[in-house]
Structure 1
């Protein structure tokens, strides 16, 4: 377990009440001796990130279904809607903890994760987020109860800077959403791009609640930057594209963060001519090629009849890691959080999904090989080898141009 102290972020009475019902404890056995693991999913089914919540919940449920089909473990997944809203999420996570979940998969919103991590930590219930990419969470005092299978957005900002520079752009203008998702990416992009020798012609923040972005796009138009970097979220940024189109800015090369990684965005943002966005390129959390990722994609297609969505691979891995840690906890008489390191041990036995269950039942240390690659966490609960994809919009949806593995 990574070592970080716990902040007193919720009131003493609230902590006491949660601790009475929420300590993770060891897993239990069914009447036939089958280990039972109870997990919670804290993911948005409503709000701005509902689409992302849907894709991650599908993957989490798939992992649970596959584990249960093995017949060697009984996994229950209790789902609560985080609403893409801190107040809703705080109530939801207290419900999960009160119901005795041993681990939580979620959330996908940095704002939500920051609002509930103290509750999880002080209740001694681990969270494993498939997204929540803010660098704030790397150094957060969570007592070792927060992990994530997606890399910090600071790494995304650096990868994006390298992409813009490698494409031959010696200057760029940046337009980023003013929140704790967008600004860390903007800051690390600017720092990394300038270190490479690039010049920032404009660094502009925007309010996601605004209805028009004429002032922001006018500032972009006033620059000569050949590259424009847009950091934001799909639902709140479509209007920017329309304003930019009216100023002729789509003739420049645009780059994006992972908030726009949706095949539907060109049509949503510019219904009159989606193809105008087919030159746009982005950086997003990706998955390496290999047997484990192929198995995940095949299982997703077979069970859900479609390809996995954004951050689905990260949610799938987070769920499997908690399932396997729960099994080991039952075998060893420990808590689920204590076994996360033992199922993501690079010195352990390498295994994929269902084949890991028998090894966990035997008490072996595992090197879980997941949809996102061989998962290993650093002392902050961040993945050691983050994977990114360079992608581009196209008539077919999203086209992956390159896969980049960090930490190597």
Structure 2
């Protein structure tokens, strides 16, 4: 996922500070109550954009953490001979790198034992340094930028495939299965979008295709007519976009207006119901990927979806199964260490072997998930349908 920058006015900062203060005061009151009952309170931070255009992603992810915590508390956990009550400390990072670092510092100051998040790569990478300096473990459930685990931090883990794997799979499908030889590439210049587009472009050239046009926009743009008109002149066989649904939907509509009738392709930021809504009829026939298994192939999806809908009154949007599993990874490591102290249970995280809702979870030496899966989809009549990957494409995605 990518990072989105928003201008913070004084009102936004004041609101953010008030929310942080309220969360801290609530947690302090709960901690006092738990202490009176001889219960150890263990706080887990959940960082997501809870306001703004990507709140639908963020609230879904936060709900996954909440459900995992509630189920752990219902089952009962004891660490070091003392009963534990897990608490979620949810913060709105607005998918903004600067706000994300503020949120990270508040988490550290609040004494969280671990963090699930952040949602976007652009917010996560700067925040991860603060967690690393403080020795706080973090498990990312939707961060796909390869840079996240290339920093060399011992406290960072990811339970989802990365953008290199997505780029390889998408390029293999574009060049191999669709026969696209001339490809135009657009990105939004974010950590996520640009990195994904770079990986895709490299994979296209390696597969025998050619990037005939490379254009750029921003993650707040809505008018793409000039870019698309320029692209039309290069006569591409396919247009690829590295970015999110908020721009992808209007972009695919405008493609039709300028007479670009070739296939449109994106990654997990495009594979959403919001893209379908924004793109309308023009979105049909588009391709996208997800950095994970399809819901049909997730071993625990059906049961999890039922519990999720009962608890929150709505369907899963995107990453709730992954944040649920990420929370379980943290708690599982604490159980094996018999401690919620980061310095003690961090050593158990690299040894993780857990059967999650999303599939088996284990980490390599960098903290990446072993055997990360990429799934391809095509939009048909307003619904995303899985596309079977050819053998060569699957092999490319696995690299």
Q: Secondary structure at the match of 2:269?
A: helix
Deviation of 1:103 after TM superposition, in Å, equals 0.2
Q: Is 1:247 matched with 2:258?
A: yes
Q: Would you say the 8 A contact 2:299–2:358 is kept in 1?
A: no
Deviation of 1:320 after TM superposition, in Å, equals 0.7
Q: Would you say the 8 A contact 1:128–1:318 is kept in 2?
A: yes
Q: Is 1:339 matched with 2:344?
A: no
Q: Secondary structure at the match of 2:171?
A: helix
Q: Is 1:104 matched with 2:90?
A: no
Aligned position for 1:21 = none
Q: Secondary structure at the match of 1:79?
A: strand
Q: Would you say the 8 A contact 2:47–2:117 is kept in 1?
A: yes
2:292 to 286, 300, 316: 286
**1:177 & 1:200 partners in 2: Cα distance?**
17
Aligned position for 1:276 = 282
Between 75-84 and 204-213, report the one with greater CA deviation.
204-213
Deviation of 1:115 after TM superposition, in Å, equals 1.7
Q: Would you say the 8 A contact 2:252–2:283 is kept in 1?
A: no
Residues 208-245 of structure 1: CA distance to partner in whole angstroms, max 9, x if unpaired?
34442222101211122221112211223443234322
Residues 124-174 of structure 1: CA distance to partner in whole angstroms, max 9, x if unpaired?
1011111221122231142x1111222221111111101112222222211
Q: Would you say the 8 A contact 1:110–1:132 is kept in 2?
A: yes
Between 103-112 and 64-73, report the one with greater CA deviation.
64-73
Q: Would you say the 8 A contact 1:37–1:327 is kept in 2?
A: no
Aligned position for 2:267 = 257
Residues 14-68 of structure 1: CA distance to partner in whole angstroms, max 9, x if unpaired?
xxxxxxxxxxxxxxx9788876532111111123432211111111111111111
Change (3 A) 1:324 1:308: same
Give aligned pairs, total. Answer: 351
Q: Is 1:295 matched with 2:303?
A: yes
Aligned position for 1:176 = 187
Change (3 A) 1:202 1:379: same
**1:391 & 1:34 partners in 2: Cα distance?**
47
1:381 to 359, 362, 367: 367
Change (3 A) 1:137 1:302: same
Change (3 A) 1:298 1:306: same
Deviation of 1:369 after TM superposition, in Å, equals 0.7
Change (3 A) 1:255 1:378: same
Deviation of 1:183 after TM superposition, in Å, equals 1.4
**2:143 & 2:301 partners in 1: Cα distance?**
22
TM-score, normalized by length of structure 2? 0.81
Aligned position for 1:317 = 325
Deviation of 1:302 after TM superposition, in Å, equals 3.3
**1:211 & 1:263 partners in 2: Cα distance?**
18
**More helix, by proportion:** 2
**2:298 & 2:54 partners in 1: Cα distance?**
29
Q: Is 1:202 matched with 2:213?
A: yes
Q: Secondary structure at the match of 1:377?
A: coil
> How much is the aligned-residue C-alpha RMSD, in angstroms?
2.5
**2:162 & 2:195 partners in 1: Cα distance?**
9
1:55 to 51, 60, 80: 60
2:149 to 102, 124, 138: 138
Deviation of 1:99 after TM superposition, in Å, equals 1.3
Aligned position for 1:371 = 357
Deviation of 1:319 after TM superposition, in Å, equals 0.8
Change (3 A) 1:35 1:305: same
Residues 259-318 of structure 1: CA distance to partner in whole angstroms, max 9, x if unpaired?
11211323323xxxx223111111112226254333323322333344322122221111
